[in-house]
Amino acid sequence: MSERRVVITGVGCVSPLGHDAESTWSGMKEGRSGIARITHLDPSPYGCQIAGEVKDFNAEAFFKNPKDARRADRYVQLAVAAARMALDHSGLDAVENLDRTRVGAIVSSGIGGLGTLENEHTKLAHKEGAKVSPFLIPMMIANIASGVFSMEFGLGGPNMAIVTACATSNNSIGEAWRIIKFGDADAMVAGGAEASILPCGLAGFGSMKALSTRNDDPERASRPFDKDRDGFVMGEGAGVVVLEELEHAKARGANIIAELAGYGASADAYHLSAPSPDGSGPARAMEMALRHAGVNAGEVDYLNAHATSTGLGDIAEVKAIKRAFGEHVKNGLKVSSTKSMTGHMLGAAGGAELLACLMAIRDGVVPPTINVENQDPECDLDCVPNTAIEMPVNVALSNSFGFGGHNASLLVKRFV
């Protein structure tokens, strides 16, 4: 592995807790739920009628040409917003004589333009094929967020999308890290976006019995590690970071938030949607991230868990954490799930959750898992129940796992 070090110099986020990184982080620290009854469509036909929506979002404010925003699926709008905020935060775009052929983008989506597909297919179903938009394909495809963002900012470096369901953001950020490590770019804009709170999304996940139906109490519906959990709650949004090679960042006087030191990826090779019961696949991803970073398990202060609030998933992840961290699980490791507040942002989840890790390091605060009222005895770890903890955080790890058995872990540490 190359000795090139990779640091994070910018963050951007749009989530059910806020329209930027700081407001999202404030909501996490406060233990505030972003879950409510769905408002942008009639949810009454569906078993799950609640979600973490991004409300009052003005996409046109983030595009150079407002017309381009109107020609973009909602997931692309959210992606461009978060990516632009991350780039602005980093200050990279303002650098004179920046070699933009050395700056790339991997801003991905687990599902892609589901809203566009639904709308245009409805026209076909009503035999109105002639009215199908010529933008159907470019609006729908899962790689177009990276494409659009590269056009907005003239980024000529490596450009792609990685689709691994709910592990999408972590794989995108991890592979961007790998590209910089191997010298194929000096900076990468990476993360994920999702906008699937739609009839197809609600019906599809609902048919799998994956969603919570605690419709009468939405703020308490997403409850990872709690014995009374009954499924996940969908969220939407985007989370994006700017990664830079260390010397490149130092040469321009960038503000370094933290170092991305490790990345691990593995497969369960077990089932379409269920996790491997013994947790061996996720454990390998975590162990790989630790190994790449040269960090011992006992040095990790905080772990942002994938923990979605499903019966099988939370228990399998706890087993994986115990395999990877051993006695440290009982001796100081803090583990929380911010999905208890944002809902499950699917392909965007990892980007928002890496934000939580970065801000935990910056502020010395571990965000809580809210709604832990009756902790499942099979989830016997310190899940930071209900209230944030102030403590020094020097090393943090973020987990994301996806349907298909995809596992991805990212390790960040205080930059020194």
Give the mean pLDDT of the chain: 97
Tens digits of per-residue pLDDT, 20-59?
999 999 999 999 999 999 999 999 999 999 999 999 999 9
Tens digits of per-residue pLDDT, 104-123?
999 999 999 999 999 999 99
CATH 3.40.47.10 domain extents, the chain: 6-251, 266-413
89, 248, 344, 406: the catalytic one is 344
Q: How far is Cα 255 from Cα 97, in angstroms, rounded to an integer?
A: 19
Tens digits of per-residue pLDDT, 256-275?
999 999 999 999 999 999 99
The angle subtended at Cα 3 by Cα 408 and Cα 302, nearest 5°, is 40
48, 306, 379, 406: the catalytic one is 306
Catalytic residue flag (residue 89): no
Q: How far is Cα 41 from Cα 209, in angstroms, rounded to an integer?
A: 21
Give the pLDDT mean for 175-201: 98
Q: How far is Cα 254 from Cα 193, in angstroms, rounded to an integer?
A: 26
The answer to whether 348 and 192 have CB atoms below 8 angstroms apart is yes
Which segments of 93-145 are extended strands (E)? 103-108
Tens digits of per-residue pLDDT, 199-241?
999 999 999 999 999 999 999 999 999 999 999 999 999 999 9
Quick one: DSSP state of residue 274? S
Who's near 200: CB < 8 A, 6+ residues apart? 114, 117, 118
The answer to whether 197 and 234 have CB atoms below 8 angstroms apart is yes
Catalytic residue flag (residue 200): no
3-state DSSP call for residue 198?
A: coil
3-state DSSP call for residue 377?
A: coil
Say what the pLDDT of residue 207 is: 97
Q: What is the CA 293 to chain-centroid distance, rounded?
A: 21
Confidence label for 3 from pLDDT (cuts 50, 70 and 90): confident
The answer to whether 1 and 181 have CB atoms below 8 angstroms apart is yes
Quote the percentage of the chain above a pLDDT of 70.
99
19, 48, 89, 166: the catalytic one is 166
Q: Alpha carbon of 363 to those of 5, 116, 142, 283, 336: distances in Å?
A: 23, 39, 34, 28, 16
Say what the pLDDT of residue 1 is: 53
φ and ψ at residue 143, rounded to 5 degrees = -90, -5
Give the pLDDT mean for 178-190: 98
Q: What is the CA 62 to chain-centroid distance, rounded?
A: 20
Quick one: DSSP state of residue 133? -
The CATH-assigned architecture of domain 266-413 is 3-Layer(aba) Sandwich (3.40)
Confidence label for 127 from pLDDT (cuts 50, 70 and 90): confident
Confidence label for 143 from pLDDT (cuts 50, 70 and 90): very high
Instruction: Report the half-sphere exposure of 365 (CA within 13 A, side-chain side).
Output: 16
Who's near 180: CB < 8 A, 6+ residues apart? 4, 6, 186, 187, 188, 243, 244, 245
Catalytic residue flag (residue 121): no
6-251: CATH homologous superfamily? Answer: Thiolase/Chalcone synthase (3.40.47.10)
Confidence label for 301 from pLDDT (cuts 50, 70 and 90): very high
Instruction: Report the DSSP beta bridge partners of residue 194.
Output: 237
Q: How far is Cα 390 from Cα 302, in angstroms, rounded to an integer?
A: 12
